[in-house]
Every structure is written in structure tokens, then in C-alpha cells.
Amino acid sequence: MPKPTLVTPIDEDKQLRILWDDDELSEFSFAYLRGWCPCAMCQGHSGERSFVSVDDPQLMDIRPVGNYALNIVWKDCENGIYTFDYLRELGRAAESRSQESQHE
């Protein structure tokens, strides 16, 4: 499983950049990443993930969880455990979304 080698929050752009050990680069806006917080508080127990829209999300901290996930701590939610697989998935979805919008 790929692991992040460098996790860089860019506060002025409100973006998080993750470089993986296989050289893939994932970039997310804070709003995107916050919106997909996988915790039960944000997602409920429906079993289906949905996007939670948050105005001006504040990134407080990023903590490693074992060797499989990052706990991304938002001002309004501290519980988001983002597994590496989930982050890769989100990164790819974010990328295809921005490519789509370039074609419009």
C-alpha cells in the first residue's frame, strides 16, 4: 500500500498536498477534504458517504494513525480518520473533477 512521504498544508491556498512514496501527488482543497470527512458524526450511520458542505473549514492538525491512516483534525470535527486508501481515492476523484471543469 502506498504511504505518504510528505504531507504539506498550504494555508494561503487552503489546500493540502500529499506526496506518496510511489511519486503520485494528491492535492485537495480543505473544503473538499473536510466535506468527505469519514467519521460517524459527519456521515451518520447510513453506510453511504455523502459530502458535508462546511464554510471556510479550518485545519488544526494532522496526526499519523498507525501506518495506515491520518487523523485530519478540523476545527469543527476532530474525528476524521482518513485511511491512505481513502485519501488516494479522494485525490483521484478531485483530479478528475478538476480536469472535467477545465473542459467546460
Residues that bind Zn ion (CB under 5 A): 37, 39, 42, 77, 79-80
Q: Which is nearer to Zn ion, 15 or 71 (CB)?
A: 71
72: which strand partners? 62, 80
Q: Which is nearer to Zn ion, 18 or 33 (CB)?
A: 33
Q: Which is nearer to Zn ion, 24 or 76 (CB)?
A: 76
Show the cell assigned to 80: 476524521
Q: Give the shortest CB-88-to-Zn ion separation in angstroms.
A: 19
Q: Which is nearer to Zn ion, 18 or 72 (CB)?
A: 72
Q: Give the shortest CB-23-to-Zn ion separation in angstroms.
A: 30
Q: Give the shortest CB-41-to-Zn ion separation in angstroms.
A: 5
Q: Give the shortest CB-67-to-Zn ion separation in angstroms.
A: 22
**What is the 3-state secondary structure of the chain?**
CCCEEEEEEECCCCEEEEEECCCCEEEEEHHHHHHCCCCHHHHCCCCCCCCCCCCCCCEEEEEEECCCEEEEEECCEEEEEEEHHHHHHHHHHHHHHHHHHHHC
